[in-house]
Amino acid sequence: MLKTQPIVRAQGKGIPALGLGTWTLENQECIDIVEEALHLGYRHVDTAQAYDNEESVGKGLQKAKIDRENIFLTTKVWFENFEPSRLKSSVEDSLKKLKTDYVDLLLLHWPVFDKADMRDVLDALMKVRQDKKALTIGVSNFTTRQLQQAQEHCDNTLVVNQVEYHPFLDQSAVLKKVKEHDMALTAYSPLARGEVFENETLDRIAKSRDVGVAEVVLAWLRSQDQVIAIPKTTSKDHLKSNLKSLDLKLSEDEIEEINKLKRPDGRVIDPDFAPDWD
**Model confidence pLDDT, tens digit, residues 214-226:** 999 999 999 999 9
Instruction: Give the distance, in angstroms, between the CA of residue 265 and the centroid of all CA atoms in the same chain.
Output: 22
Residue-level pLDDT at 259 = 98
Q: What is the pLDDT of residues 224-254, one digit of tens each?
A: 999 999 999 999 999 999 999 999 999 999 9
Residue-level pLDDT at 226 = 97
In whole numbers, what is the pLDDT of the chain averaged over residues? 96
188 falls within a domain: yes
Would you say residue 1 has pLDDT above 50?
Answer: no
199 or 4, higher pLDDT = 199
243 falls within a domain: yes
Residue-level pLDDT at 32 = 98
Number of compact structural domains in the chain: 1
Owning domain of residue 67: 13-259
pLDDT above 90 as % of the chain:
96
183 falls within a domain: yes
Would you say residue 192 has pLDDT above 80?
Answer: yes
Would you say residue 3 has pLDDT above 60?
Answer: no
∠ at Cα 23 (20, 25), nearest 5°?
90
CATH classification at residue 127: 3.20.20.100
**What is the distance between the alpha carbons of residues 52 and 186, in angstroms, rounded to a whole number?**
20
266 falls within a domain: no
Q: Residue range 257-274: average pLDDT?
A: 96
2 falls within a domain: no
Residue-level pLDDT at 112 = 96
∠ at Cα 169 (29, 117), nearest 5°?
80
Q: What is the pLDDT of residues 121-143, one digit of tens each?
A: 999 999 999 999 999 999 999 99
Contacts for 140 with CB less than 8 Å, ≥ 6 apart: 76, 107, 108, 109, 110, 160, 161, 162, 163, 186, 188
DSSP state of 232: B
Closest C-alpha among 106, 212, 240 to residue 162: 106
Confidence of residue 117 (pLDDT cuts 50, 70, 90): confident
Q: Residue range 242-270: average pLDDT?
A: 97
**Helix, strand, or coil (residue 134):** strand
4 falls within a domain: no
56 falls within a domain: yes
274 falls within a domain: no
Contacts for 268 with CB less than 8 Å, ≥ 6 apart: 164, 166, 168, 169, 189, 192, 193, 195
So which residues are the catalytic ones? 51
Can you give the pTM of this predicted structure? Answer: 0.97
Residue-level pLDDT at 114 = 78
Helix H or strand E segment including 154:
none
Q: Exposed, middle or buried: residue 86 (CB in 10 Å: 0-12, 13-18, 19+)?
A: middle
Q: What is the pLDDT of residues 86-95, one digit of tens each?
A: 999 999 999 9
Confidence of residue 116 (pLDDT cuts 50, 70, 90): confident
Q: Residue range 257-270: average pLDDT?
A: 96
**What is the distance between the alpha carbons of residues 262 and 59, in angstroms, rounded to a whole number?**
38
Closest C-alpha among 220, 132, 116, 124 to residue 168: 220
Would you say residue 83 has pLDDT above 80?
Answer: yes
Residue-level pLDDT at 4 = 65
